Structures are given as structure tokens and as C-alpha cells.
Structure 1
């Protein structure tokens, strides 16, 4: 990989990692479900008029839009709003690679190799350690919401694999059109029209910049750059850079939000990142060419796990 391409891969990981800190800041401006709806609205418009027609069946766009956009990101934003720290969220979400492997085994019959099973065990040990740490410092209910978000992210990865979109950016932009109305409806029902209108009336330049960052920088730029790299390099070369996402997520949260990283959290990070690496690269020789999606996707706390070949979806990027 050329130095410029390597720098771009690191930049995308940094953008996706810092996104968790930006989300945390955004939750001070907007109710969580309204914030998520605005994120997808800004990601879809005006990009949807420039990426061309959808290149997969609408059933896959709607399915991924509901599972990834409404369930995964709705739960993530709710969990962070309820007290889940930004840095820890960026780390715990990586357990989506375990959920992806389990769901692929259950519904696609993909039997994991022994290294992959070992990786799942190591990653789950990291989640358990993170839960112990959060249980002593924060609300476990918020932690559970982020774990549930990771599970829906895993399901969206499998759905995206079935869809096999040929163009990652086109797919993500069209997927972004689906969650807007459901999230707005849920926001009106649960957060209330008065709270939503108050947040919109109080919109300032900082709130607008936050929405544009999570929509245009993490989604449009992040997915576009990641897809560009994957068209020029093997997935096995590009995908490992997504392991940097929680590194940037935790460090940016510590720097800008003054989040304290405890020894238990460092231990959880080592186990989770190591387990995700084993889970994602545990089937050597399984394929000879890039696939639409392997084990993970982006974040929006869009980044994805290593192994995501052509379509990293969701992290929260």
C-alpha cells in the first residue's frame, strides 16, 4: 500500500473513531432518536440525487435501513444518551463481529473455524471485563443497549452480505433514506414533539456542524474513501485498519471529553481488539477474491470489523 493510501486508511479510522466523541457532543443538542434521524436525513440528502439509482433490490435496502438505521443506531444513541461513555461505546460495538459470525452460522450455515471460535471467546471475555468496569462506574442498562446495538449491527452485516451491493457508497446513501421517517415517528412518540421542536429551534452552528460531521464526514467521506481503498487493495490489506477505530474512539474521548480509561477498560480493549482480529481473520484460505461483506462493517459509530471487504456498514461512522 502506498504511503498516501496508508494515510487515507488511518484517516478514515480516525474519522470513525472520533465520531463517537462527536455523537456524545451531539446528544447535548438533540434527543437521541431525533439526532439519529437528522444524521440519516443529512446523509441521504442531497447525496441521493448524485449516486445514481439503487444497484440492489429494494427489499435489501429497506431491510438494512431498518435493522442498521433504526435498530442499531437508535439503540446506540439511546445507550450513549443514557450514560454509556463514548470511548467505551466505540470499543464494545466491535463485538458485532461475534454476532455477525453467530448469525451467519445460524442462518447461512457458515461454520466458524477453531481460531474464529477462539476469537469469539476472547472478545466476549473483553465484553465481560468491560461490563464489570461499567458496573462499577456507570449504568449497566446503557451498556446493555449498546450490546443490543452491536447485535443488530451483526444482523445488518449478514443482510448486506446477502444483498452483495456492488457500490458501497450508493448502497449506504440509499439505505440512509429508509430510517428517517421511522426514527422521526419514534422520536415524536417517545421524546415528544415539544422536546423535538425545542431542540430544532435551538439549533446553532455547533449543532449543525455535528450533524454534518456524522452524516457527511463519517458516512459520505468515510464510506467513499473506504470503498475506494478496497477497489485498489485486497480486503485483507485494508480491513485491519478498522481495528484502529476504538483506539481513536477511546483516545479522543479521553482528550476531548475527559473520560477516564481505567485499567479494567484497557484490559477489555486488549481482549476485544485481539478477539475481533481472531474472529475476523480466523478462516485462512476461505476465499480467493473480495466479497461484498465478510465479517463486519463500518460504524457510524459507523466503522466495521476487519474482514469487511467491499461494504463496511455501520460503525458508527
Structure 2
């Protein structure tokens, strides 16, 4: 596995493209939820992401249980929770921001799974970021939106867990891992949709689907899932977690801007303040080497 800190230009462009795709994806999810209930939208996403591709793309050479765990955490749990959180009233821009706490969950899980001990800078950065989560919790309106916040934090944890399975599997084809991971998530989400949303709601949603919702599903499946997660899996396989994962800090910037542009989402002071703490804490942890270099230089001069 590569440990290079600076990505080459073509991989830097690739990760920036992923950031753009995932940032706009929150708008697509919001539009899709206008026609579909959250679990059904998740099931449709997983089904179209897996089929018919599993018949043409060989299964990754990894234990089946790891692929199933990857699919359950990275797809079934993460997106079932994200879609439900937005459905309950959490704005797309805010959802994209809260989800970035996955960086700290990833660091914590990397310590537990790979004995990758976090530095004091990373711990301090996490505390700063969670101040931002507190600001969001105090200002969200209504119990359903607060529940949406909790679900988004659980989604962030699911994404972090999925990252650990991505590292363990070492798939030769990241797209194959995405396709087969979605196949593992698909039947689980179909059963959840049938149980919680019911056949009547499912049938009504499918009969009354709008063209914008169809376009949103197309974007969610083929851009966010196939292109986004396929490229993300390649980068996660090629570089260390600490090099790749922090680029997701830019996703909420795109999420806020696209939500404001396409959906007219308001940006009150508390959202900007929460963003400052959450992203500031993440950046604080990222700048550890630079800060240590400045301190060392100051000590040498003194």
C-alpha cells in the first residue's frame, strides 16, 4: 500500500471529482425522497447498482462474509440512515456536513482494528469538531430533525466501518466490490422497506414516480455509487486512510453550495459557525505535521 502524502495530479483530480459528485448527491437524494420513501429509495439504489452487473463482474477474491459486512455497513446501514435522516427534515447541506464526522470514527476504528494510534492533535481536533455537532443539536428545530441528526451520526459511523472493510478486502477491482456490496445490501433493504413502509406505499410510489425522481435515481446509482464509490475504493486501496479520507472535508462545501443553489437552502449564522468548528477541527488534525515543524523550528531558533 502506498504511503505517499501528495497525490499525483491525476489522482488529485479524481478525488476532487468524487467530492463534486458526492456533494451534489445530497440534492439528488432530496429530490428522490419527494417520490419515494427512504427505505424504498435505498432498495432501488442498491438493486440498480448491483443488477445486472453482478452477472458480468466477477466477485472480489475475498471471504464472502467480508463482502457482506462491507455491503451492510457501507451501503445498507449508511444510506438507509442518510435517506431517513433527510426524510425526517435534516437539510441536505447539513446532512453533508454532519456525515464528515466519519473521519474521526475512521480514525478511532483504525486504532481498534489496525492499532493505528491517534495523535493528541487528532484527539484535540475531534473535540473541536464535536463542538460543531453540539451547535447543530442546539439549533435544529423539532424532535424529528434532532432524530435526523442522530441518524446522520450513525450513518457516519457506518461509513467509517465500511472503510475498515474496504481496507481489509483489498479488492483488485473496486467497482466489483461496489457492485457485490450493493447486492449484499439489496435484499436486506427490500425486507426493511416491506416491513416498515408496506406494499401499498411502495406500489403507490412506483406508480406515481416523477421524471425528476427518475433523474435523481440515475444520478445516485450511476454517478454517486458506480463512479464515486468505484473511484473511492481505488484510492482507499492505493493510499493510506489518513491521505484519502480527509478530502471528504470538501463534500459539505459542495453540499451547502449545491443545496443553496438548487433547493434555496438558507445558511443562517449557526450553520456557518457549526461548519467552522467541524471543518476547523478536522483541518487542525490534518495540519499536525506542519504545526510540529513550526514548533520545532521555533525551538531551534530559541
Q: Structures share a fold, TM > 0.5?
A: yes
- The 1:155/1:12 distance shift into structure 2, 3 A limit, reads closer
- State the 1:230 CA deviation: 7.2
Distance 1:95 1:236 in 2: 14
What is the aligned partner in structure 2 of residue 209 from structure 1?
215
Maintained 8 Å contact 2:167/2:237:
no
Match of residue 68, structure 2, among 59, 62, 86: 62
What is the aligned partner in structure 1 of residue 15 from structure 2?
9
From the two aligned structures, give the one with the greater helix fraction.
2
What is the aligned partner in structure 2 of residue 247 from structure 1?
253
Maintained 8 Å contact 1:118/1:275:
yes
- The 1:176/1:6 distance shift into structure 2, 3 A limit, reads same
- State the 1:281 CA deviation: 6.8
- The 1:278/1:178 distance shift into structure 2, 3 A limit, reads farther
What is the aligned partner in structure 1 of residue 300 from structure 2?
none
Task: Give structure 2 stretches of 5+ with no counterpart.
Answer: 1-6, 291-302
Distance 2:197 2:242 in 1: 43
- State the 1:149 CA deviation: 1.4
- State the 1:67 CA deviation: 2.0
- The 1:143/1:269 distance shift into structure 2, 3 A limit, reads same
Task: Give structure 1 stretches of 5+ with no counterpart.
Answer: 285-317
Which of 103-112 and 56-65 deviates more?
103-112
What is the aligned partner in structure 2 of residue 311 from structure 1?
none
What is the aligned partner in structure 2 of residue 126 from structure 1?
132
What is the aligned partner in structure 2 of residue 104 from structure 1?
110
Match of residue 187, structure 1, among 179, 189, 193: 193
Where 1:178 maps in the other structure, the secondary structure is helix
What do the CA deviations read for 1:61-103 (whole angstroms, capped 9, x no partner)? 1112122222221111111101111000000000011122223
Match of residue 206, structure 2, among 187, 200, 205: 200
What is the aligned partner in structure 1 of residue 160 from structure 2?
154
Where 1:179 maps in the other structure, the secondary structure is helix
What is the aligned partner in structure 2 of residue 92 from structure 1?
98
Distance 1:110 1:229 in 2: 19
- State the 1:195 CA deviation: 0.2
State the number of aligned residues. Answer: 284
- The 1:44/1:277 distance shift into structure 2, 3 A limit, reads farther
Is 2:8 the partner of 1:35?
no
What is the aligned partner in structure 2 of residue 74 from structure 1?
80
Which of 269-278 and 187-196 deviates more?
269-278
- State the 1:174 CA deviation: 0.9
Maintained 8 Å contact 1:86/1:253:
yes
Structure number with higher relative contact order (C-alpha < 8 Å, ≥ 6 residues apart): 2
TM-score (norm. length: structure 2): 0.84
Is 2:24 the partner of 1:18?
yes
Maintained 8 Å contact 1:120/1:275:
yes
Is 2:149 the partner of 1:143?
yes
What is the aligned partner in structure 1 of residue 225 from structure 2?
219
Where 1:29 maps in the other structure, the secondary structure is coil
- State the 1:282 CA deviation: 5.3
Distance 1:151 1:240 in 2: 15
What is the aligned partner in structure 1 of residue 3 from structure 2?
none
